[in-house]
Amino acid sequence: MTRILQIRRGTAAQNDNFTGLAGEITMDTTNKTVRIHDGTTLGGFALARQTDDNPSSEPFDINSVSSEFWTQLFATYQTDKSINSLTSTDMPILTVPYYDYTFSCQKAPIFAKAFLVCQTPEAGYSINEEVCAFGIGDYAYPQLNTYISNNEVHTRLFTGNQSFWVFHKTDGTKTAITADKWKLKITVYY
């Protein structure tokens, strides 16, 4: 199915009285143009249309935007200057409804991932190779559920007692694995 992106829109008067977020785009329905916002300028900056006949205006060049603008933009929206991670111990592959792993961490994770670590060569992988291209039962690329409780990050990977498999390293086919030849690891990034 096709995805549609719809931006904010309004008359020239409405746009003139609107201060958009830095990098936000709005549509001016009166003048049939778009406006770019910097987070502080009321009304933003109207972009010229190709049909505009104004010899004094020059085409917009993204390279003409000052480096100070970009530095301020990234500084404003960068949540943290560094990303840290915690990784679980190796867990055996078992037939269980789910895996739980808890990390001692007081910050909410940005994201978490599960991966398999090859212990004995199989499906084209070598010892200690980490594989994110795996699945459980009918589901590829399983996602972890995470939540914070008592200053700990809890992770849960649901398996529904189904078997693990990997995409073969060289031909990409879905390949059943031998449970004792692999271990499961979980990493949280915060």
pLDDT category of residue 52 using cuts at 50, 70 and 90: low
Q: Provide the 3-class DSSP secondary structure of residue 144.
A: coil
How far is the C-alpha of 83 from the C-alpha of 93, rounded, in Å? 29
**Quick check: 114 pLDDT over 70?**
yes
Give phi and psi for 173, each to the nearest 5: -80, 150
Q: For the chain, how far is it from start to end, CA to CA, in angstroms? A: 34
pLDDT digits (tens, 9 = 90+) for 125-135: 999 999 999 99
**Quick check: 56 pLDDT over 80?**
no
Q: Is 104 exposed, middle or buried (0-12, 13-18, 19+ CB in 10 A)?
A: exposed
Strands of 134-136's sheet in order across:
139-140, 134-136, 164-167, 174-176
Task: Say if domain 8-77 classifies as CATH 2.10.10.30.
Answer: yes
Residue 91: per-residue pLDDT: 96
Can you say how many angstroms the Cα of residue 154 is from the centroid of all Cα atoms in its chain? 20
Give phi and psi for 160, each to the nearest 5: 60, 30
- Is there a contact between 101 and 88 (Cβ–Cβ < 8 Å)? yes
Greater model confidence, 71 or 158: 158
Q: Which segments of the chain belong to CATH 2.60.40?
A: 85-189
Q: At 174, which amino acid appears?
A: K
Residue 190: per-residue pLDDT: 83
**Bridge-partner residues for 103, per DSSP?**
153
- Is there a contact between 89 and 99 (Cβ–Cβ < 8 Å)? no
Kindly report whether the global pTM for this prediction surpasses the value 0.85.
no
Question: If you average pLDDT over residues 22-46, what whole number do you get?
Answer: 90
Return the residue matching tokens 């649901």: 158
Whole-angstrom CA distances from 145 to 108, 109, 181, 185 are: 12, 11, 25, 14
Q: Which segments of the chain belong to CATH 2.10.10.30?
A: 8-77
Domain covering 85-189, topology? Immunoglobulin-like (2.60.40)
- Is there a contact between 51 and 146 (Cβ–Cβ < 8 Å)? no
- CA–CA–CA angle 132, 138, 144 (5° rounding): 45
